[in-house]
A and B are shown apart, each in its own frame.
Chain A
Amino acid sequence: MMTTTKHAIAVSVNDQPGVLQRVSGLFGRRGFNIESITVGQSEEEGLSRMVIVTEGDDQTLEQIEKQLYKLIDVIKVVNLSSKPMVSRELALIKVKAEPAERPEIKSLADTFRASVVDIGTKNMMIQVVGDTEKINAMLELLKPYGIQELSRTGVTAMTRGNA
């Protein structure tokens, strides 16, 4: 049995209409899992970079890479998880906060280097940036206060140094 692990894959694609559909459709019809997907400009004009977090054994990963390369609009596929990398995600968390609880929540946010970006009469909005584990930990700590709304960007990532 091969073990299933999480991987972040960076896919450079032509910035063409429909390219996200081509990539996500491929994952869908081949039964590959998508945990998160982010898309945006890359350093090169005309190219976008997608970062896809997926789960699978080595054989599945190999198939994902090969199948992606079959798409004409895919220029390069890099399995970031096979190299030292930085991965980041941003979350906006709206947490219930009576005025009396505000300092406590603020200090929690500070320890995570998260920031309070909005304060309502009965809630606060926290912005946290970090890897997935850090955001999960932040959420865990905020849960007792009551999370009213959560929005996460999904992971974007890059290899370190010259790798």
Chain B
Amino acid sequence: MKTESQEIKSTEQLREKWMKPEVITGSEVLLRSLLLEGVECVFGYPGGAVLYIYDALYGFSDFHHLLTRHEQGAIHAADGYARASGKVGVCIATSGPGATNLVTGIATAYMDSVPLVVITGNVNQQLIGTDAFQEADITGITMPITKHSYLVRDVKDLARIIHEAFHIANTGRKGPVLIDIPKDVSAAATLFEPEKTMKLRGYNPTIAPNRLQLDKVAAAIKEAERPVILAGGGVVYSGGHEELLDFAEKTEIPVTTTLLGLGGFPSGNRLWMGMPGMHGTYTANNAIQQSDLLICIGARFDDRVTGKLDGFAPKAKIIHIDIDPAEIGKNVHADIPVVGDVKTVLEQLNKLVARAEQADAWRDQVQQWKADKPFKYKDSNDGLKPQWVIEMLNRTTQGAAIVTTDVGQHQMWAAQYYKFNHPRSWITSGGLGTMGFGFPSAIGAQMAHPDRLVISINGDGGMQMCSQELAICAINKIPVKIVVINNQVLGMVRQWQELIYENRYSHIDLSGSPDFVKLAEAYGVKGLRATNKEDAEAVWREAMETPGPVLVEFVVNKNENVYPMVTQGSTIDQMLMGDCE
């Protein structure tokens, strides 16, 4: 990827330059501290309360600053950057509306445990509390959706606060941390000395598990006749994917990966059963329901996974491995709780476990289900089916792309039909289900991995929620391949209205949306469209061969439903199979 800005020097080179104690302004403290934390790229939008910060950024080229077209675009991009790289994503916005425009993005990151440091400006301290122009109590507003937040009252605290914020964001159960900097603090001068110590008495995540609990896990595996591994986002976030593979191979226990866990276990592996839950596989859902031992690793028993809670995995002894003790026992009682970092837990566990000897009949059963009930749809040569489009993307990229999605039917089809084999290659808003996330998050992912293919899959609804960021793709030549699966309808809502609300289609018609090809072209991004298979293959090939960003619109049938489907209030083995029958 070529960007207009100067070549970024390595942080190590810059470190020396920036470590020197010096009297500088709060704004300069911020920039130096970000640099010392290893930040390469921030996403932001200036405004009154961050003018000093942007003044310090004038001519500053030691990390990239990407000017988005909306603060929501900035934070979703920072989120995509963090999910793709494993580093902390950073964004900057001004006070008041700038800060409140970040709220959806902060909640998105909080629900999916994504490490972000969110910098907001605020009005001068003497104006705080007076309903001043562009004043909002952003620390108060975001308290329930941040891991922690700071309102900086003294410039002397700033370096320490930034150092703490990065530590808190990217350790333990990760999450967004907000730093609100009043304008007078960003203007004030102080002696900057890099913060090296960490004194957080109330924060000490448990990394290493209790050995006695691990022995219980090993013993339970030995006895299990129908064991299942349920692996979630924690596997990806802890970098424990290799340990999970090792664990599964050693024990030969079938694995299901949650929506956020996709890529945490290779989809080509014989032990993989696909995704569980509302739109999960027949195999994964039945395996969970019939299991006598459910080993949940870095997942949190979300309602989209469990379905009706009191009928969930009724015969199973539950092992729950998580870094967040509050997740254990929150929704599902754990018979063997293990608190710790997933990677560390699995490393230690792998020394204790052996093949689950009692589970041979079960393994056969699982393979039988996999053979009998794969995902299916009724293909047609007349027009395009959305599932076919995803299969085509998967086939032409060999499952090697970084895929981001928006929320809705296309998200579920992407989860079902794109076959991930690498962690941090699947970026989707799982917990909050944020429309408008898919496209800007891809920009962040591409910034993290300039040389990888990044595909952003969107519906025609969500694409219109952050389409303004086409500008930053065009201007910075960020080569995201933007896919719009256009069915002219809010598909997932349509599906529910068809199946549950007796075909009463209320306010879901998106016909009359802009011409997406022209929309892309208006921003200087190449736009392509296909309405049949032949064209689809051709325009996709063209998109892949075109350097820089390309938007490809696939016009698909509007009446397609995502199957299987577990309706609310049912246990997960009560699936509407639809075309998967």
Contact = CB atoms under 8 A, between A and B. Distances in A.
Interface string B132-169: 00000001100110011001010000000000000010
Interface in B178-236: 200-203
A36 B139 CA distance: 25
A21 B143 contact: yes
Contacts of A67: 326
B569 interface: no
Closest CB pairs A-B (n = 7): A66-B326, A72-B148, A75-B202, A72-B203, A29-B144, A66-B325, A74-B202
The binding surface of chain A is classed by DSSP as helix
Contact of B329 (A63, A70, A72): A63
A120 to B, nearest CB: 38
Contact of B326 (A13, A21, A59, A70): A70
Contacts of B326: 63, 66-67, 69-70
B330 interface: yes
B324 interface: yes
A72 B200 contact: yes
B140 A72 contact: no
A75 B151 contact: no
Interface in A1-58: 13-14, 17-18, 21-22, 25-26, 29
Interface in A62-118: 62-63, 66-67, 69-75
**Contact size class for B?**
10 to 19
Contacts of B324: 70
B323 to A, nearest CB: 11
Interface residues of A, number: 21
Interface of A: 13-14, 17-18, 21-22, 25-26, 29, 59, 62-63, 66-67, 69-75
A43 to B, nearest CB: 15
Given A18-B139, A18-B151, A25-B143, A62 B202 contact: no
A25 B144 contact: yes
B140 A75 contact: no
8 contacts: A13-B202, A17-B151, A59-B329, A63-B326, A70-B324, A71-B148, A71-B202, A72-B200
Nearest to A62: B329
Contacts of B329: 59, 62-63
Interface in B301-348: 324-326, 329-330
Contacts of B203: 72
Contacts of A73: 202
A72 B143 contact: no
Q: Among the interface residues A13, A17, A18, A72, which one has the most CB atoms of the partner chain B within 10 A?
A: A72
B329 to A, nearest CB: 6
Given A18-B151, A25-B144, A63-B330, A75 B325 contact: no
Contacts of A13: 202
Given A13-B202, A18-B139, 6 more contacts: A18-B143, A21-B140, A62-B329, A63-B329, A63-B330, A75-B202
B139 A72 contact: no
